[in-house]
Amino acid sequence: MKLLKQPVIMKQAPMNAVLYALLPLVAASVYFFGWRALAVLGVVNAVGFLSEYIFARVYGKKVSMAVFVTNFLFALSLPPTIPLWIAGVGIAFGIVFGKMVFGGFSKNIFNPAISGRAFIYASFGYHLSSRFVQPAQGLLGGLGRWSPGLDSLTAATPLIQLKEGVDISFLELLLGNVSGSMGETSALLIIITGVWLMFRKTASHHIVLPGLAGFLVFQSLFWLTGIDGVPAPHYALVSGSVLFGMMYMATDPVTAAQTTNIGRWIYGAFIGILTSLIRTFSIWPEGITFAILTANMFAPLLNYIITEIKKSRRSRKGADA
Amino acid sequence: MDTGFAAVAIFFAAIFTNNILLTNYLGMCSFLSVSREIKTSLGLGAAVIFVMASTSFLNYIVYHFVLIPLGLEALRFIVFIIVIAAFVQLVEMVIERVSETLYAALGIFLPLITVNCAILGVSLFMVIREYGMLQSFMYGLGSGIGWFLAIMAMAGIRQRLKKAQVPKGLEGAGITLVITGMMALAFMGFSGMISV
């Protein structure tokens, strides 16, 4: 019984801040899509914790608080009708292959939530992209129901509707009263919580702002050149999960470019631009998942190049003096 | 489609949507063994770009002006390998003259470019997809750059991994293959953008 008394979880204050910031999004997902959202969160948290715990035991480490952030982010990025077992498979893959094989927290190359999400996105395309539903209507919203009505099952999230030229109210998009993944529909809540995180310096605005700027510039460019199915930039910003990904996933300090602010700017802008490119030209409706994964892949090289440039500058200065 | 425009499209497709390493899994052997150091990766990556672009062009000429007129298309596997081997031999001699350090750093891997399946693969794809002369060259160049990007990203990651605590059983090739899988997953995002 001695084992149980030892603390299993490593405390990490910044991670708590992210969790607090995510609570409004959890509440919103329950309000829009019913109590089933909590069931998804529960399964994801249980499987995610267990995956990390097994590895942490072998490594002789504690489970990091970060695993709960990963769990929450992952769960909130799923469609509301996601089968629970797919959610479990995704988070297990994300934690094990995205994080634990590298030695655990702070050693990982790829963001575990994004890895898991990309894995099931590529493997179970139907469940991840064709089973969105309209949010529950009425004042009580989803508070009075278990799951959203399956009769409104559709693949057409605002992203796809905008592509087809359907009119959607900007206000609805901003508030989040639209179909989409559980936690990403309400742009307003994400902006408020995201700004709070940036204000607390938990999330780096050196990544978020260039990222959003890059996204908007390219989106405007495509819009102005009149490419088919490109919505106006302010619509593009509040639909899909670009805000959610930028604020919460791209800013993950472990997997982002982390040496200098210049590195962060390049990293953020790269994600924004790539998201816009993937959205506009590839077969996927949303690009932020793959954009972050690709940016994660080049981040260590970017760090290395920036440090080398700094080094050579310093040595040149030293030679002048 | 205009051939010039098609060649440019093929160039970008070969880098991103149809990356020879991350979507066709060709050229893995030298990728796995050389990506340990950033400097050697840079050297080998540059050599691969050069050799790929040149051999796809040379093989195009050999295939269309020698093999087809003689009706010897069946011999293309052997002939392509001979052309590549001869060309690599030439490059090796040049590098030895120009840069002793690069020559020493690349060591055994330079002659191994000969058997880098990605290079033969590029020449064979060129025949299967019936590219023109300019297209073949651009395809070779693009594939080389794609391979270069992949190995540089991997070298950066492995540099960082030196501080990680990878489990014993996964060290070396194991973890590298896991990372390659994740990279391939990331590159899936490009699918559908341009087609070869």
Give B-chain residues touching A281 at CB under 8 angstroms. 192-194
Query: Which of B17, B157, B166, B175 is most worth mutating to test chain A (most A CB atoms within 10 A of its CB)?
Result: B157
Q: Which of A281, A297, A302 sits opposite B183 (nearest CB)?
A: A297
Residues in chain A: 321
Q: What mean pLDDT do residues B63-84 have?
A: 90
Q: What is the pLDDT of residue A210?
A: 93
Region A209-238 average pLDDT: 89
Q: Which two tokens stand for residue B107?
A: 């060591």
What's the gap in Å between the CA of B17 and the closest CA on chain A?
Answer: 9
Q: Best residue in A57, A109, A254 to probe B by mutation, most B CBs within 10 Å?
A: A109
Q: Do B185 and A115 touch (CB under 8 A)?
A: yes
For residue range B33-46, list pLDDT tens digits in order.
888 888 888 888 88
Token pair belonging to B156: 């950066």
- Alpha carbon A241 to chain centroid distance? 7
CA distance A294 to chain B (A): 5
Minimal Cβ distance to B153: which of A103, A122, A298: A298
Q: Which residues lie across from A64 on neighbouring strands? A: A10
Give domain limits for chain B: 6-190
| Residue with the larger pLDDT of the pair B164 and A196 | A196
What residues of B are in contact with residue A297 (Cβ under 8 Å)? Answer: 153, 157, 182-183, 186
> Residue A219: CB partners within 8 Å, gap ≥ 6?
A230, A233, A236, A237, A276, A280
Residues in B lying within 8 Å of A, measured between beta carbons: 38, 152-153, 155-157, 159-161, 163-167, 170, 175, 178-179, 181-183, 185-194
Nearest CA in chain B to A105: B164
Distances (CA, A) of B19 to A246, B44, B118, B183: 26, 17, 10, 11
Token code pair at residue A303: 């760090």
Q: What mean pLDDT value characterizes chain A?
A: 86
Q: Above 90 in pLDDT, residue B130?
A: no
pLDDT reading at A269 higher than 80: yes
ipTM: 0.87
pLDDT (tens digit, 9 = 90+) per residue, A25-51? Answer: 998 888 888 888 899 999 999 999 999
Is B165 within 8 Å of A104 when comparing Cβ atoms?
A: yes
Q: What is the pLDDT of residues B180-193, one digit of tens each?
A: 999 999 998 888 78
Mean pLDDT of B54-77: 91
The mean pLDDT of A302-316, rounded to a whole number, is: 88
Task: Inspect the interface and report whether the beta carbons of A122 and B188 lie closer than 8 Å.
Answer: yes
Domain boundaries, chain A: 2-311
Distance from CA of B189 to the nearest CA of A (A): 5
Q: Residue A84 is inside which H or E element, if any? A: helix A84-98
pLDDT digits 0-9 by tens, B163-183: 888 888 888 888 999 999 999
Position A1 scores a pLDDT of 39
Residue A132: strand pairing partners: A154
pLDDT of A15 reads: 84
**What does the alpha-carbon distance between residue B72 and residue B84 come to, in Å, rounded to a whole number?**
18
Is A64 in CB contact (< 8 Å) with chain B? no
SS3 A106: coil
Per residue in A75-125, pLDDT (tens digit) is: 999 988 889 999 999 999 999 999 999 988 888 899 999 999 999 998 998
User: What is the tens place of the pLDDT at every residue in A136-162?
Assistant: 776 667 677 777 766 667 767 888 887
Chain A residues lying within 8 Å of B161, measured CB to CB: 102, 109
Contact A102 B175 (CB under 8 A): yes
CA distance A93 to A70: 12
Residue A302 to chain B, least CA–CA distance (Å)? 8
pLDDT for the residue numbered A321? 53
Does the beta carbon of A258 lie under 8 angstroms from any beta carbon of chain B?
no
> What pLDDT is recorded for position A85?
94
Q: Coil, strand or helix: which one is A154?
A: strand
Q: What is the mean pLDDT of residues A182-211?
A: 89
Check A297 against B153: CB less than 8 A apart.
yes
- How high does pLDDT run on average in chain B? 87
User: Which chain A residue has the Cα nearest residue B157?
Assistant: A300
Of A205, A193, A285, the C-alpha closest to A244 is A193
| Beta carbons of A40 and A93 less than 8 angstroms apart | no
pLDDT at A200: 87
Question: Residues of A with CB below 8 A from B190's CB?
Answer: 278, 282, 290
- Residue A6: the pLDDT is 59
pLDDT attached to residue A106:
83
**Chains A, B: CB pairs < 8 Å:** 96
Q: Which residues of A touch B40 (CB under 8 A)?
A: none
Q: Do B185 and A293 touch (CB under 8 A)?
A: yes
Q: Do B153 and A301 touch (CB under 8 A)?
A: yes
| pLDDT score at B155 | 93
A48-80: pLDDT as tens digits:
999 999 998 888 888 888 899 999 999 999 988
Q: How far is A55 from chain B (nearest CA, A)?
A: 10
Q: What is the CATH number of domain A2-311?
A: 1.10.3430
In this predicted structure, what is the pLDDT of residue A2?
45
B138 burial (CB, 10 Å; 0-12 / 13-18 / 19+) is buried
Q: Which residue has the higher pLDDT, A184 or A258?
A: A184
Cβ of B153 within 8 Å of Cβ of A296? The answer is no
CA dihedral sign of residues B6, B9, B13, B14: positive
